[in-house]
Amino acid sequence: MANSAGSRKRARQAEKRRQHNASLRSMVRTYIKKVIKAIDAGDKAAAAEALVVAQPFMDSSVNKGIFNKNKIARTKSRLNAKIKALA
Domain containing residue 30: CATH number: 1.20.58.110
Q: Which domain holds residue 14?
A: 5-85
Q: What is the DSSP letter of 56?
A: H
Q: Quick one: how far is CA 86 from the chain centroid?
A: 23
Given this model, what pLDDT does residue 83 score? 96
Instruction: Quote the pTM value.
Output: 0.87
Cα separation, 53 vs 30, whole angstroms: 12
Given this model, what pLDDT does residue 7 score? 95
Mean pLDDT of the chain: 96
Task: Compute how many other C-beta atoms are within 10 angstroms of the C-beta atom of residue 30.
Answer: 11
- The 10s digit of each residue's pLDDT in 35-67 is 999 999 999 999 999 999 999 999 999 999 999
Q: Please state the domain count of the chain.
A: 1
What's the count of helices (H) and strands (E) in the chain, helices before strands?
3, 0
Q: What is the CA radius of gyration of the chain?
A: 17
